Amino acid sequence: MSNDVIVVIGAGGIGVAIARRQGFGKTVLLADFSDTVLSAAADALREASYTVETQIVDVSSRPSVEALARKASSLGSVMQVVNTAGLSPNMAPPERVLAVDLYGSALVFEAFGAVIAEGGAGLIISSMAGHMLPPLTPDQNQALAFTPADQLLELQFLKDTVPDSMVAYMMAKRGNHLRVQAEAIRWGERGARVNSISPGVIATPLARHELNSPIGEVYQAMIAASPAKRMAPPEEIAAAASYLLGSDAGFVTGSDLLIDGGVIAAMFAGKLQTPGQQAA
């Protein structure tokens, strides 16, 4: 067994699929906001002989994220960091969505950018929602990419242009793409890479919940209008993650990979209305 550590933040369907694919022969440090979710996922991995350490984390809390980074370093060489934590638009008010999905992801990049090993790689699971937002101004792009994490939520344009959770979510996910570009420079100085994946509708317990919720029809319409006409299992995201985290992707950094079965293409082609378009 090597001394290598993979950190997986968010023990949901995608996080666990990536852990299973990447984690054998390494120490998996699995972190989640929910003790119940974390314990169940860790037990399933241990049952399959993975070496798993767990820690509760709140990605919107600086002390909590920094404690997780310290724990990861104490376990060995931090080779891979995968952030799958997030709040979806119908789970929380806009302030919480921005705190977790925008500020939280910036914190994770910052804290783990300080401990990532040479040759290591980071990955954030963003969302196709980041591709739904109309283009931002160059100043807004710069601000989301480079504003120090602790000042991000104070940005005036966020207060002016985010009326609801859906727009907050799209903005946060666009923020992930921009942040990845900025962090690619900093992580690159340590010989590490960082990228994002923007998944579409992935069949996780969360997605099942959303499909059966009042906004379930929106999801159904997306699936029906898309070229693929289906949801994807978490494994398809894990396959792409495996590529982006591995040596085949040594030239890929600061990049975003959209994996959505063509939903964004369908929106672009006018086959599907873009959510929150009027508001944004």
Q: Which residues are catalytic?
A: 169, 173
Among 93, 188, 205, 250, binds another protein (CB under 8 A): 205
Asked whether position 153 contacts another protein by CB under 8 A, the answer is no
Angle at alpha carbon of residue 273, lines to 267 and 132, rounded to 5°? 55
CA-to-CA dists, residue 272 to 132, 158, 216, 227, angstroms = 11, 26, 15, 12
Q: For another protein, give the closer residue by CB, 155 or 207.
A: 207
Contacts of another protein in 114-133 (CB under 8 A): none
Minimum distance of another protein from residue 215's CB (angstroms): 19
Q: Which stretch binds another protein (CB under 8 A): 48-56, 66-74, 103-111, 271-279?
A: 48-56
Closest CA to 158 of 149, 146, 167: 167
> How many Å apart are CA 262 and CA 214, to the nearest integer?
24
Asked whether position 47 contacts another protein by CB under 8 A, the answer is yes
The DSSP secondary-structure symbol of 202 reads: B
* Contact residues for 125 (Cβ-Cβ < 8 A; gap 6+): 10, 14, 15, 82, 83, 84, 86, 196, 197, 199, 237
Annotate each residue in 232-251 with x if it binds another protein (CB under 8 A) or - if it does not, as one string.
xxxxx--x------------
Quickly count: other Cβ atoms within 10 Å of residue 121's Cβ. Answer: 25
Q: Which stretch binds another protein (CB under 8 A): 47-55, 87-95, 111-119, 179-187?
A: 47-55
Asked whether position 12 contacts another protein by CB under 8 A, the answer is no
Helix, strand, coil distribution of the chain in percent, nearest 5: 55, 15, 30
Among 65, 116, 180, 202, binds another protein (CB under 8 A): 202
Task: Tell me the β-bridge partners of 52.
Answer: 28
Asked whether position 76 contacts another protein by CB under 8 A, the answer is no
Q: Which parts of this chain interact with another protein (CB under 8 A)? A: 1, 13, 20-21, 24-25, 47-50, 202-205, 208, 228, 230-236, 239
